[in-house]
A and B are shown apart, each in its own frame.
Chain A
Amino acid sequence: MNTALRKVGVPVLSILIFLVLWELLVWANGWPNYVMASPSDLPEAYARFWELFLLGSWQTLWRTVAGLLLAVIFGLALGMVMGFSRIVRDGLYPLLVGFNAIPKATLVPVLALLFIGQHNFNTVMMAFLISFFPIAVSVAIGLSTLEPEYRDILRALGASRMTIFWKIALPKTLPEFFGALKVAVTLAFIGTNLVEIVSPHGRGLGALFLSGQTNSNYPLMFAVLIALAVLGIVLYYAVVAMERIFAGWAERAET
């Protein structure tokens, strides 16, 4: 009971304190709305544009999740071949690192030119491109550092590589995989928003932000930022919940 109260109460309290401090800061400096909106301006923005918020959130959400799913599938596959084959690992690593080092904002115009007008596709692609790297690397490292004994207990019985992967290598890598997925979900979210904000005639919360900017509706812009933060938190904790379900054993093992 007490711990449950603390788990919910402490974060809620810290958010409230944050909002009060923000309100105080704006009030003390006497900033007008076009410099910085205060929390008390936000409810009005939500009330006026709630339909747009719902639609935008949905669009941002599904495209992020779609991109992340692609990243999981591709990252797992790539991590598998890299984890099992030294040659592939040595060959692909520099390429991957180089690709990861490119600031992804530069890919927005490239994608936009490659797939003109395919806004949904571009957004999903960006979410995917920006987030598959940590997944692939974590799976590759997890598989390549598997102690040989783990493999040998099944290999000595004539088990196939696939069987060893499903029964031992994959579950053993799950904690690392979810660690990477937590990073990846945040990255995918950033990727989605990047495209939404930069593209003309975009969709999602990013586009709503842009329209707030073009109409000089500052409370709306701040309201979008808060909505983005909330959506980001939801996505992150969805991954944490999945981690509890599929790799909860790793947590217990540590204590």
Chain B
Amino acid sequence: MSDLIDIRGVAHAYRTPSGPLPVLDGLDIAIPRGEFCAVVGPSGCGKSTLTRLVAGLMKPDKGEVRLDGAPIRGPRKNVGMAFQNPVLLEWRSILDNVILPLEIVAPSMPRKERVARAEELLAMVGLEGFEAKRPSELSGGMRQRASLCRAIVHKPDVLIMDEPFGALDNFTREDLWQTMRQLRAAEPFTAVLITHDLRESVYLGDQVVVLSGRPARTQYVMNVDLPDERPLDILYTPKVGEMLHVLRDQIKIAQGRGEGPGEGAAA
């Protein structure tokens, strides 16, 4: 009822030359305002499709995606998106890349305010002093940081991320997890994060949703009962170890090799 994002009974099929391809079937996800929802699932099960539905870029064949109680009918100004590819514009400086959404969402906002807002965010993610640089002058991790800033510069209600850390090395990724938690504490967004990294889902999420194989339905929901203050070490506690184990088993089931004698073969 008080959920900001409410996905209920959603089904969707792509029309392909070889007939309809059901991608989602029986998807239910509820995310209260301000919460962080991590979504994991087998490759190709329909996770990116889910982000496009929440962003209003597509409409589901069946079921409803509601935002604050009202069905999503199309794109809205209060959403931000980040992808695995940072898609920064090479002809703009980092600062102007971050400002881009404001040019669409708040065309009358004075340049000075836009710059101040962008600088504030860039400082928060540790990119102070890189405002005037071109994207190609930054490392992959730094580009992803800038991309996150751009996704939230206009203070969206909903931040949608599709494997934003997927292409980064392990240490950079862990750095960005911490940055993500800091941003979360400072900014008001509600987040949907697609990931294929279980540790990432637990470290960042308030809940972790496991999707089944294609067509994806909600197979399992885990409430992440960890303190808001999360040092990286928390990932090595027995409690988190157990959670990861449960999720791991769920993924195996989702991949269709969890039950029965198949389990040994999957290891």
Contact with B along A171-185 (1 / 0, CB 8 A): 110100000000000
Name the B residues within 8 Å of A163 (CB-CB): 104
Q: Is A1 an interface residue (CB 8 A)?
A: no
Q: Is the CB of B56 within 8 A of A149?
A: no
Further pairs besides A155-B57, A156-B57, A171-B91: 16, Cβ < 8 Å: A147-B85, A149-B83, A150-B87, A152-B55, A153-B81, A153-B101, A154-B100, A156-B55, A156-B79, A157-B104, A157-B154, A158-B75, A159-B104, A252-B134, A252-B136, A253-B134
A182 to B246, CA, bound (A): 61
Name the A residues within 8 Å of B87 (CB-CB): 147, 149-150, 153
Q: Is B76 an interface residue (CB 8 A)?
A: yes
Name the A residues within 8 Å of B105 (CB-CB): 157
Q: Is the CB of A149 within 8 A of B85?
A: yes
The residues in A between 227 and 255 inclusive whose CB is less than 8 angstroms from any CB of B are: 247, 249-250, 252-253
Q: For residue B103, which residue of chain A has the nearest CB? A: A167
Residue numbers of B with Cβ under 8 A of A are 52, 55-57, 74-77, 79-81, 83, 85, 87, 89-91, 100-101, 103-105, 134, 136, 150, 154, 160
Interface residues of A, dominant DSSP: helix
Name the B residues within 8 Å of A141 (CB-CB): none
Q: Is A168 an interface residue (CB 8 A)?
A: yes
Please provide the 9 A-B residue pairs with the shortest distance between their CB atoms, ordered closest to farther. Answer: A158-B75, A249-B91, A156-B55, A253-B136, A149-B87, A157-B104, A149-B83, A159-B104, A253-B90
Q: Is the CB of A158 within 8 A of B91?
A: no
A147 to B87, CA, bound (A): 9
A152 to B57, CA, bound (A): 8
Give the shortest distance, in Å, between B5 (CB) and chain A (any CB): 15
Q: B75, B100, B160: which contacts A155 (Cβ < 8 A)? A: B75
A155 to B75, CA, bound (A): 7
Q: For residue B147, which residue of chain A has the nearest CB? A: A153
Q: For residue A163, which residue of chain B has the nearest CB? A: B104
Name the B residues within 8 Å of A172 (CB-CB): 89, 91
A133 to B90, CA, bound (A): 27
Known contacts A253-B134, A253-B136; A157/B79 CB under 8 A: yes
A156 to B152, CA, bound (A): 13
